[in-house]
A and B are shown apart, each in its own frame.
Chain A
Amino acid sequence: GEDVEQSLFLSVREGDSSVINCTYTDSSSTYLYWYKQEPGAGLQLLTYIFSNMDMKQDQRLTVLLNKKDKHLSLRIADTQTGDSAIYFCAESMDGGGTSYGKLTFGQGTILTVHP
């Protein structure tokens, strides 16, 4: 079955690096996503990684994928107070064209950045 797990809370100091972890169970996952949700707002796509990649870097964001352990992480370098938000990990499966773009989300990690 499909299950995506994240730790619920992470607290860091401004300027430190944040690492948000995610585990998933479905080995047929094709794409894995990180979304950010600020208070009162919808979901903002931060980055995504294709399942045949190990790493993807995009400015301050680094995504690491360990497909063997089904573990995904998002590292935010030089974390700022504006990075405080809920971060969602999500996976989509390749169902041979029948999965209809269905994303399965984790419950979200609340990142709090202290000055």
Chain B
Amino acid sequence: ETGVTQTPRHLVMGMTNKKSLKCEQHLGHNAMYWYKQSAKKPLELMFVYNFKEQTENNSVPSRFSPECPNSSHLFLHLHTLQPEDSALYLCASSQEVRSSGNTIYFGEGSWLTVV
């Protein structure tokens, strides 16, 4: 039990499909993040939410649409993806959005394959 739970763990989708990734944290944190881990690049920050408000969008294409209905839940809506979007998508959370003492805890990730 990591405290950050992601579903589904594995997802295969076609380029015309619409799907969503879900993340839930049970740590009482106020900040949540989406990271992307692909085979040939270091981990990349995608989005940051603090108290349900998006505070950072790291130049992510609009085919990725995040949603944060409350501090415990974070979604990543996927639409018209490309094969190069296949990657491990990691959700994370932290107490708050400040770098000092901001220990970030990660979920197990959702493996996405776009065909």
Cβ-based interface call for A88 (8 A):
yes
Q: Is the CB of B106 within 8 A of A35?
A: yes
Q: Would you call the interface of chain A mostly helix, strand, loop, or mixed?
A: strand
Sample 20 A-B pairs with CB under 8 A, ordered by A number: A31-B100, A31-B102, A31-B103, A33-B103, A40-B111, A41-B108, A42-B2, A42-B4, A43-B106, A48-B103, A94-B99, A94-B100, A100-B99, A101-B48, A101-B98, A102-B48, A103-B43, A103-B45, A105-B42, A107-B42
Contacts of A90 in B (CB 8 A): 43
Contacts of A30 in B (CB 8 A): 99-100
Question: Which residue of chain B is the closest to A92 with respect to CB atoms?
Answer: B99
A19 to chain B, nearest CB (A): 21
Q: Is the CB of B90 within 8 A of A42?
A: yes
B94 to chain A, nearest CB (A): 5
- Known pairs A100-B99, A101-B98; list 16 more (Cβ under 8 Å): A30-B99, A31-B101, A31-B103, A42-B2, A43-B106, A94-B99, A95-B99, A100-B31, A100-B50, A100-B55, A101-B99, A102-B45, A102-B48, A103-B45, A104-B42, A108-B42
Q: A42-B2, A42-B90, A45-B105 are in contact. Are A101 and B33 (CB under 8 A)?
A: yes
Q: A43-B90, A100-B97, A101-B31 are in contact. Are A92 and B102 (CB under 8 A)?
A: yes
Cβ-based interface call for A44 (8 A):
yes
Q: A44-B106, A45-B104, A45-B106 are in contact. Are A99 and B99 (CB under 8 A)?
A: yes
Per-position contact with A for B15-30: 1 when CB-CB < 8 Å, else 0?
0000000000000000
Q: A42-B107, A101-B99, A101-B104 are in contact. Are A106 and B42 (CB under 8 A)?
A: yes
| Range for the number of chain A residues in contact with chain B | 20 to 34
Cβ-based interface call for B109 (8 A):
yes
Q: Which of B6, B56, B102 has the most chain A CB atoms closer than 10 A to its own CB? A: B102
Question: Which residue of chain B is the closest to A105 with respect to CB atoms?
Answer: B43
Bound: A98/B45 CA distance, A: 15
Contacts of B50 in A (CB 8 A): 100
Q: Is the CB of B56 within 8 A of A42?
A: no
Cβ-based interface call for A76 (8 A):
no
